[in-house]
Amino acid sequence: MAKKWMMTTLSALLALSLAGCSTNNGTTASTGTGGSDGKSTEGKTKVTYWTPDRHDADFMKTKIDEFNKTNKDNIEVEMTVMGDNYPQAVDIAFASKQAPDVLQVNDFQTYYQKGYLAPIDGYMSEDMKTTFKDSLIDNKNTIDGKIYTLPNTGQVWRLVYNKDIFQKAGITNPPKTLTEMVEDAKKITDAGKSEGIYGFASPFKSGSGFWRAANTIAGASNNYGIDGYNYRTGQFDFGMYKDVALALRQMSEDGSMLPGVESLDIDPLRAQFAQGKIGMYINHSGEPGVYKDQFPTEENWAAAPVPTSDGTIKGASQVIGGSYIGISADSTQKEAAWKFMEYVYSKDLQSEYYEKGYGISLIPAVLSSGKKPNIPGIEGFLPKRYDAIFPANPGVVTESSLEGTKWTDAFSIFVFTGGDIDNVIKDLDSRYNAALEKTKAAGLTNISADPSFDSSKLQGKLSTEE
């Protein structure tokens, strides 16, 4: 079973990642590689852009097509939508001198440490600096006073559930506790298995399956950490995942998960949900856009707060946000790349993006307009008092020094094969804290313990709603 999460070869990873889709106006081939000479066949300045986001691909393709047709600088942008192995593909691209000009920054600290990003301060107008000055987060947008990327939207995480399937199984409300989630998943499966309907799913093909299902639950169930990192002690403490790991293990043993989740990606999961085959799963505020454009559905679905260990929110429900896109340090077309980046961050584009429900904006100029997204299903994702953006932590940077299996993979293996959960946690704590010491010694992070940290105090900054 552990083989399902083993690393494949680098060349295979890049090939899989490039099996996405690209914008193509009929004049530029979709090669999926950067490192071009900066010119297309029509003599235009070519800018390559990579993103792992598929939920907004149709919208962004339309906007990029508009940019290509209307910009006065003879710039042509080619967008490639990558697969789930985006981080590895980025590493391979930079190592092989094929990096895109503009890329989504899903791992700011690592990208900075590896020298992947160019600072953008010198390109920003004073008005633009003023617009974003109160939104910048250290170690997510800036380091040492330099800006490398800007925020755009935050991923608000919720339990996504099928209301009709719940009703058919005799369930009145979405679960508030992990125990209720396990029980509801079993009820749904018992009621719907003959029709191919199962209670729960998560895309366990990669470690993101456990992370998607468990991370928000863990952050809401405690008030000291997220991503396995304890902000108070400045150490890794994976015990925060014990309850949710046991709950997922129980659903696996009960047969309440969609068959084949061990090898499931997020898009096939969404396709199954859109067909009414999954009772519930956990994902982010991009889902309304998915079920409007990518996998149109007539299913009666909604979003609710994730369950917690005991039904109370002791900390905060993590909003993933802060970083968006940046310019490759290797790009030979930085001026053109910035013009495209400036277009993407324009108030008009970002307002439309927000209003169409592709993401919850973190840009004050957009939020102050008073407009709300208008798309089915978005209501359950709008920020509440308990939603919050957490400070940066050294988690991903630490993994560069890690020996052995990553935490998400270790927990995924436990979910499907069982074992001693306490030993799994002990091993992870030991290996990650040893790696953290190496990371600090190498000067790769300056994040330290904050004994007064209390994630419940992060609440209320994104919304005044209860």
pLDDT digits (tens, 9 = 90+) for 124-135: 999 999 888 877
> What is the pTM for the complete model shown?
0.76
Please classify residue 156 by burial: count the beta carbons closer than 10 Å to its beta carbon, then call 0-12 exposed, 13-18 middle and 19+ buried: buried
In a domain, 386, yes or no: no
pLDDT(17) > 90: no
Alpha-carbon dihedral angle through residues 50, 329, 63, 126, given to the nearest 10 degrees: 150
Q: What is the pLDDT of residue 335?
A: 97
In a domain, 21, yes or no: yes
Q: What is the pLDDT of residue 133?
A: 81
In a domain, 123, yes or no: yes
- Nearest-angstrom CA–CA distance, 298 and 360: 23
Please classify residue 16 by burial: count the beta carbons closer than 10 Å to its beta carbon, then call 0-12 exposed, 13-18 middle and 19+ buried: middle
How does residue 29 score in pLDDT terms, banded at 50, 70 and 90? very low
In a domain, 458, yes or no: no
φ, ψ (nearest 5 deg) of residue 63: -70, -40
In a domain, 267, yes or no: no
pLDDT in tens, 32-85: 334 444 554 468 999 999 999 888 899 999 999 999 999 999 999 999 998 878
Count how many domains the chain has: 1
pLDDT in tens, 226-249: 999 999 999 999 999 999 999 999
pLDDT(12) > 50: no
Q: What range defines the domain where residue 331 resides?
A: 2-154+322-380
Report yes or no: 373 and 356 within 8 Å, Cβ to Cβ.
Answer: yes
User: Average pLDDT for residues 365-384, to the nearest whole number?
Assistant: 83
Of the chain, the percentage scoring pLDDT greater than 90 comes to 68
Nearest CA among 249, 253, 258 for reference residue 200: 258
User: What is the pairing mode between strands 75-81 and 45-51?
Assistant: parallel
Report yes or no: 91 and 82 within 8 Å, Cβ to Cβ.
Answer: no
| DSSP label of 275 | T
Q: What is the pLDDT of residue 280?
A: 98
pLDDT in tens, 279-293: 999 999 989 989 988
CATH assignment at residue 138: 3.40.190.10
In a domain, 66, yes or no: yes
What does the mean pLDDT of the chain come to?
89
Q: What is the DSSP string of 170-216?
A: T--S--SBHHHHHHHHHHHHHHHGGGT-EEE---TTSTHHHHHHHHH
In a domain, 44, yes or no: yes
In a domain, 83, yes or no: yes
